Amino acid sequence: MNRILVAIVLAVAALVAPWFFYPVFLMKALCFALFACAFNLLLGYAGLMSFGHAMFFGMAAYFFGHMVKVWDWPIEFGLVGAVLGAALLGLVTGALAIRRQGIYFAMITLAFAQMIYFLCVQMPFTGGEDGLQGIPRKPLFFGLLPTENDYTLYYVVLVIFLFGFGAIYRFIHSPFGQVLKAIRDNEQRALSLGYEADRYKLLAFVLSAAVAGLAGATKAMVVHFATLTDVAASTSGEVVLMALIGGLGTITGPVVGGFVLVAMQDYLAFVGQLVLVIQGAIFVVIVLGARRGLVGEFSAWWKARRRPG
Amino acid sequence: MGSCNIFELSTQLLFSQLLLGLINGAFYAMLSLGLAVIFGMLNVINFTHGAQYMMGAFAAWLMLTWLHIPFWGALVLAPIIVGLFGIVIERLMLKRIYHLDHLYGFLLTFGLAQIIEGLFQWNWGSSGAPYQSPIPGGYNLGFMFLPAYRGFVVVAALVICLTTWYAIERTRLGAYLRAATENPTLVRSFGINVPRLITLTYGLGVGLAALAGVLAAPIQQVSALMGTNLVLVVFAVVVIGGMGSIMGSIVTGFGLGLIEGVTKVCYPPGSNTVIFVVMALVLLVKPAGLFGQTK
């Protein structure tokens, strides 16, 4: 009963939210929350920490912008194209990165992301330092649903978010997700049981890249532009931080983390470059003191509170 | 543009780019060496390495502008100061996470790097400050012009790398260190203070990064973000070489610098990315790295 109640409250909150908060802020938060969920799928359920996830997020933003603005594709095609592009990039980099494990995996993904960043600085289609600006918000469904209005677009973004979140949820709770967890916990044993661990890891990586791409493309649609920041190492660090704030390996954690971090960046904009310092401090505090994150610590507290009674 | 015919190029251009590559390689070697030493002992990939390199350069610059301590004084003092700072960090924070997964060390040092770089950027801005070359002038070698200071950096880096190699592979303290890397519990039972050894190792590794920073100050602009991109390239260098061997780090560092220099001559737009391409190739052929062991 409790669960259903929580679900209803959340659904109502999601529906009325744009009347209480600035819709663009909510849409950005939803995009980053989805991005963090994609990252968390890989770390929480496959045990692979990618420190280069901005490459999928940012490249998909560029792909989407280029398809919609320069090639004049409809938004639907742009989204699908950007997601496929991110998945393809995930296939190539993932196939190489999963050849190493643990800390090396993190360094390899970081290095590939840096390579993509350097390429984005040089390639003409990204617009270099200026970024790809003026991506139009076109109507959806062959002109039936206009999206210039922030309130309308909010619901579109909400649907996209729920689609991505649902895909991850289904994936984790499928037999495939169970095998993935088995590999995370004991790769040797999973191998000896006949599961081809590398193939499972690669598929998880590609799926994670695709969802990160969906988040990046949607963000480009919301804010009308894609810039170098989207592919930069700092963005890769931010998504790690979101998952860490919310709680690694929890399903709702990254969503909470995404909202917290985007809110923090919006409300702390006045401190300027010190935002970076604050983010770094949060990293340090969580790693040293609260490794379960907000959601993890809360549910631990909740269980401890109920047990004695 | 894609073809590379060495005979058609002016030797002047080729050699000056090779020298530049050698200098970059010297920094890759010094930094990946420090990372390897720290990782061997602490099991932590020190993401703060780039920030500590920057701190070394800043320390030299601040000593010159505030205290009028010349380059040669800074070359000795800056690594000690930054190394001590590293020791404080190790005692206060890093030692609490050794029992955890390696990833937490990575995250913690990443956060520390953000704090340090953010504070320097906040206080001094992002634009760089110039640092006067301590050895002006240069030599005309006939086929190219060699700025004296750059020649000095290459020699100094070689000396630093080989000294570190000697200290770890050929001295008694180094033997303790290697033994403690293999089996800390056993070494402890021989009466050797392993935690202190770990602290010293971290201070040494951080000091190496700061020393590289001081050497870089007269070549590069001294700026808050000078280590940010560098540390990411050095990670690729570390993946290519594997962190198993000290000599391996040195050879890989210099080698990749040279490859970068050659690329700058043959295909300039690729010079930023060539190291990452090499990394992809090495992962395909020898995933453990050129000098690494599969574990």
ipTM, two decimals: 0.88
| Distance from C-alpha of A139 to C-alpha of A65, rounded to nearest angstrom | 15
Residue whose C-alpha is closest to residue B225's, from B133, B75, B85, B114:
B114
Residue A92: closest CA among chain B residues belongs to which residue? B280
Helix, strand, or coil here: B147?
A: strand
Residues on chain B touching A112 (C-beta within 8 angstroms): 276, 280
Give the tens place of pLDDT for each residue, B204-257. 999 999 999 999 999 988 999 899 889 989 998 988 988 778 888 899 999 999
Q: Which residue has the higher pLDDT, B153 or A17?
A: B153
Amino acid at A40: N
What averages of pLDDT result for each successive group of 10 residues across chain A (309 residues)? 80 85 91 94 89 94 92 89 96 92 87 91 83 81 75 90 93 91 89 89 95 95 90 91 88 91 86 86 90 86 76
Each domain of chain A, given as residue ranges in start order, spans 24-233
Query: Which residue(s) pair with A140 in the sheet?
Result: A145
Beta strand B145-147 pairing with B138-140? antiparallel
Burial of A144 (0-12, 13-18, 19+ CB in 10 A): exposed
Residues on chain B touching A283 (C-beta within 8 angstroms): 107-108, 110-112, 114
B232 CB-near residues (< 8 Å, 6+ apart): A110, A111, A114, A233, B50
* pLDDT category of residue B295 using cuts at 50, 70 and 90: very low
Give the tens place of pLDDT for each residue, B7-66. 556 777 788 888 889 999 999 999 999 998 898 888 889 999 999 999 999 999 999 999
- CA separation (Å) from A78 to A61, A75, A85, B123, B201? 10, 5, 10, 43, 52
Residue B132 has pLDDT above 90, yes or no: no
| Distance from C-alpha of A25 to C-alpha of A18, rounded to nearest angstrom | 9
Q: What is the pLDDT of residue B2?
A: 46
Query: CB B114 to CB A273 under 8 A?
Result: no
Query: Which residue(s) pair with A226 in the sheet?
Result: A132
Amino acid at A143: G
Portion of chain B with pLDDT greater than 70, in percent:
96
Closest partner CB to B122 (pick from A118, A273, A287): A273
Residue whose C-alpha is closest to residue B226's, from B237, B216, B238:
B216
| Distance from C-alpha of B4 to C-alpha of B268, rounded to nearest angstrom | 11
Residue B3 has pLDDT above 60, yes or no: no
Contact A241, B86 (CB under 8 A): no
Query: CB B121 to CB A119 under 8 A?
Result: no
Min Cα–Cα distance to chain B from A48, Å: 10
Closest partner CB to A103 (pick from B45, B121, B232): B45
Q: What is the pLDDT of residue B9?
A: 61
Mutate to test the interface with A, among B98, B100, B103 (most CBs of A within 10 A): B103
Yes or no: domain B6-285 corresponds to CATH 1.10.3470: yes
Residue A238: closest CA among chain B residues belongs to which residue? B111
Question: Using alpha carbons only, what angle is made at residue A230 by residues B27 and A73, rounded to the nearest 5 degrees?
Answer: 135
Measured over the CA atoms of residue A18, residue A19, residue A22 and residue A23, the dihedral's sign is positive
Give the tens place of pLDDT for each residue, B167-196. 988 999 888 888 888 888 898 898 888 899
Q: What is the pLDDT of residue B5?
A: 57
Task: Report residue B290: phi and psi, to 5°.
Answer: -60, -40
Contact B39, B28 (CB under 8 A): no
Mean pLDDT taken over chain B: 88
Residues of A near B (Cβ–Cβ under 8 Å) read 49, 51, 96-97, 99-100, 102-104, 106-108, 110-112, 114-115, 118-119, 121-122, 233, 237, 240, 244, 272-277, 279-284, 287-288, 291
Residue whose C-alpha is closest to residue A282's, from B106, B169, B40, B114:
B114
Q: What is the pLDDT of residue B1?
A: 43
| Distance from C-alpha of B64 to C-alpha of A31, rounded to nearest angstrom | 48
For chains A and B, what is the number of CB pairs under 8 angstroms? 118
Residues of B near A (Cβ–Cβ under 8 Å) read 45, 93, 96-97, 100-104, 106-108, 110-119, 121-122, 228-229, 232-233, 235-236, 238-239, 269, 272-273, 276-277, 279-280, 283-284, 287-288
Q: Is A127 left (phi over 0), alpha (psi -120 to 50) or beta?
A: left
Residue whose C-alpha is closest to residue B184's, from B201, B165, B169:
B201
Residues on chain B touching A244 (C-beta within 8 angstroms): 107
Mutate to test the interface with B, among A103, A228, A240, A261 (most CBs of B within 10 A): A103
- CA separation (Å) from A70 to A29, A56, A65, A254? 27, 20, 8, 34
